[in-house]
Structure formats: C-alpha cells, structure tokens
Amino acid sequence: MGRKNKSKIILQTPKGMHDILPKEYAFYKAVYDKAEEIANYYGFMPIVTPHLEKTELFSASLGNTSDIVEKQMYTLKTRGGDKLVLRPEGTAPIMRSYIENGMHAWPQPVMFQYSGSFFRHEKPQKGRFREFQQFGLEIIAEEKPVAEAIIIKVLSLILEELNIRPIIVHVNSLGDKECRGLYRKELIAYYRKKINQVCKNCKKRYERNPLRLLDCKEEKCIEIKGGAPQMLDYLCSNCKQHFKEVLEFMDSGDIPYFLNAHLVRGLDYYSRTVFEIFEERPEYQNENNNGSSLALAAGGRYDYLAHALSNKNLPAAGGALGVDRIVQLMMEREITIKAVKTPKIFFIQLGTAAKYKSLKIIEMFRKAHIPIMQSISKDTLKSQLRIASKLNMAYALILGQKEALENSIIVKDMDSGTQDTIAIEKVVEYIKHKTL
C-alpha cells in the first residue's frame, strides 16, 4: 500500500463514528446539563454500566430477529475467550444491573438516568451513526401508566427547554402477550394476500417478525400498510384501559401527541405503550414521517424484559434521547445555548523565575473562577503575543524576569496596546474589575 493511501486510512475516524470538537461539545454539554437537571428534579438516580456486556444479554432481550441482534452488534472475543458486545442500547444492561444488584430490596419503583455512547453497525446516514450518544431514563418495578407518562413528560420537557419546539409525541399500544398474538394473526392474514407486492425485506419480515412489516419505509410498502389492521382494535380490556390512562396523563400534562396506530419499534422487548418524539414540522404531519424526520427520542413499556433475563416479573418503562440528533438539529436551527465562559486573558511568561511562578498565577485565577489561556512551553514574548492575538484575547498578563523578582505583573490591553504594572496580589481584582 502506498504511503499516501495508508495515511488516508489512518487519518480517518472509523465509518459512522465522529470526533466531537470544542464547538459541538458545547452543545452536547448543554443537552446533558439540561437533561440531568430535569431528571434530577423528577427523582431519577444516576447509574453507569460498562460499555461491554455479554452477548446473550442482548440476544435474550432484544429478540433474535431484531435488526440489532441479527446484524448490528459489535461482538468481540476476549483473550480469555468470553464473547462480549459493545452495548447497542442501555435498557437491557440496566435491567441486568437491577437484578444483579438485588435492587428489589430498594424502595420501589427504582428510577434511573444514564448517558453515554452506544454502538450499532448500521448504514451511516444523516442522524444515524455507528457510535452515538443517548440520555436515557428507566422506571423499574412500576406497572401503572404513570410510569410511561413521567418518561414521556420528562423527555418532552428536556427537548422543549432546549428550545426544540414544537415537538410531537407519536404513541401506540402494542398490547400484551395475549392480545398481540391475536393481532399478529390478523396482520399475517392481511399480508398473506399482498406478499407479492411488498419489498424483499418485508418478505423476510413476514416470515420472521411480522410486526416489523409496519416499520418499512419503502413507498409501496407504506401504501400497503395503510390498509393493515390496527393494533388498537385488538387490545384486550386491560391493555385498552392502560393505554387510555396513558393518554389521559398526556392530555392533562399538555403533551402534544399523535395516535400513530402503526407505530412499532425495532426492539422486541416492548409491550403496551410505545412512543417516538419528533420535532413537529408541517411537512411531517402524517404517520409515515419517519422518512423525512428522525426520532429525537423513543421508548416504551417493557414488561417482559426481566422475564426474558431471569424469569422475574418486573413491569417497567423507559425511553432515551438521541443526543447526536438533538445537537445536529440545534446547530441547524441555530439555537443558541448559554455561552460557556471562554478565556479572555492570556498569560505570558519570560525567563526561568517567571516560568516557576506561572502555575501559582494560573491557580490564583482558577480560584477566582477566571479561566486563562497560556503557552508555558514558549520562551519569547513575540511568539506568545502572537498566540494571544490569534486567539482574540482581550488582555495579556506579562510576567518578565523583573516582574517576577518584584512580585508584579504587566497587564496589556490587546486592543489599545496600553499597559499597567500591577502587584501580583492585586491582579485578580484588577482583571475582575476590567472584564466585568
């Protein structure tokens, strides 16, 4: 391989993964800060689980026929021979942690918030990455509809307070084991007659996971879906009542929603309520909007997940925000975020005595909550002043040999070029006064 080609490969992030540079980072931080702030008020406790988990955790819970388990997991064999996977999502690991750590002995329900990177080997496209970040919420050991209502409320609030408005929550109910079975049969009967008209992928879905037929984005399949039976017509009375209460909570909580009778989800662990949250744009107002807009958050109830892992019956609900998609949208819409304190002061030192004093001076400013930039490895005044002016600093603090001996420092106004000599113990106050 030529040197040029080799460095081209080395100098690229892996496909579907990206660096977060300082400007973007400010948006990620704004999203996480807001999400944590609101989740804390609602009583969600923070939890961190490993990036690697046993493969079976996901194959047992997400469903063997789900896209994630079938083709999107990053699996690896460790030196010790264990088969591990880079977590593709956060709900199964949190349920694992609940069971493993005996959290049934804690006051119930247990409410968690979490964040971090997740990994899926998907076809990269706008808003779809192979490493992406989520902020998630889970309420474990709660069967009442208020669980879904709180999750949807908190996720919506976070988006709205980030100035992503208006939003719309698409909701549906997938029923429970019994009523879903009946619906599945009806759906199969409907598609049996149309099987020659659907796409290649849907033919496979028909055989392996018929509910996923409703998730197809191909135009001809969307049309066929229009006439498909709707789950809501097959709900048993308990599931109907449960869903009614979820909707009542949404009505009374002023949460804008759209009853999307064909909404299904890519993970098999869901039962009853499922939801996806979108930015609302006039052009997206139909149930097939997934083609033109991407879900900013999604989730639902997963009453059977714990049973799939350990034969325990533990009703639960949750949801997660897609942080990368939110950041992209905020940047596209030029939504402003609270400005991060960027340094306006550049510290310059000349000579050995001044170098030794440098860290003390930076620390004096840190204690006063004033960030400063520096380039301590540089030696000449010219090189340091050049950096200060490139970074558009308002003031340069210059500590030369003489000043180091006399315990003073020069404050140079970078715009006007004027300068004052100030006693070191007074410089923090002096700068505070100047920059306020």
Applying CB under 6 A, the span of 79-87, 129-137, 205-213, 233-241 interacting with ligand HAM comes to 129-137
Question: Interface mask (CB under 6 A) for ligand HAM, residues 25-64, using x and -?
Answer: ----------------------------------------
- Minimum separation from the CB atom of position 162 to ligand HAM (A): 14
How far apart, in Å, are the Cα atoms of 121 and each of 16, 56, 82, 419?
8, 17, 20, 57
Applying CB under 6 A, the span of 73-81, 124-132, 165-173, 194-202 interacting with ligand HAM comes to 124-132
If binding is defined by CB under 6 A, does position 365 make contact with ligand HAM? no
**Closest C-alpha among 435, 434, 374 to residue 399:** 374
Q: Which is nearer to ligand HAM, 152 or 224 (CB)?
A: 152
Q: In the 8-state DSSP scheme, what is residue 214?
A: G
Q: Which residues in 417-434 are b (16+ Cβ under 10 Å) and which e?
A: eeeeebebeebbebbeee
Residue carrying the six token digits 């002061």 = 345
If binding is defined by CB under 6 A, does position 150 make contact with ligand HAM? no
Q: Are 55 and 363 in contact (CB under 8 A)?
A: no
Q: Are 345 and 339 in contact (CB under 8 A)?
A: no
Cα separation, 304 vs 309, in Å, equals 9
Q: Which is nearer to ligand HAM, 297 or 404 (CB)?
A: 297
Cα separation, 321 vs 298, in Å, equals 7
- Minimum separation from the CB atom of position 109 to ligand HAM (A): 13
What is the DSSP pairing of strand 408-413 with strand 395-399? antiparallel
Extract the tokens encoding 93: 């690991």
Q: Which is nearer to ligand HAM, 113 or 384 (CB)?
A: 113
**Closest C-alpha among 50, 125, 128, 59 to residue 90:** 50
Residues 86-105 that bind ligand HAM (CB under 6 A): 89-91
Applying CB under 6 A, the span of 50-58, 235-243, 298-306, 331-339 interacting with ligand HAM comes to 298-306
Q: Which is nearer to ligand HAM, 132 or 234 (CB)?
A: 132
Residues 300-329 that bind ligand HAM (CB under 6 A): 300, 302, 318-320, 322, 324-325
Which of 58, 98, 114, 129 binds ligand HAM (CB under 6 A)? It is 129
If binding is defined by CB under 6 A, does position 128 make contact with ligand HAM? yes
- Minimum separation from the CB atom of position 151 to ligand HAM (A): 8
350: Cα within 13 Å, side-chain hemisphere: 16
Which of 109, 136, 145, 175 binds ligand HAM (CB under 6 A)? It is 136
Closest residue to ligand HAM using C-beta atoms:
322
Cα separation, 163 vs 2, in Å, equals 49
List contacts with ligand HAM (CB under 6 A).
89-91, 120, 122, 127-129, 132, 134, 136, 138, 266, 295-300, 302, 318-320, 322, 324-325
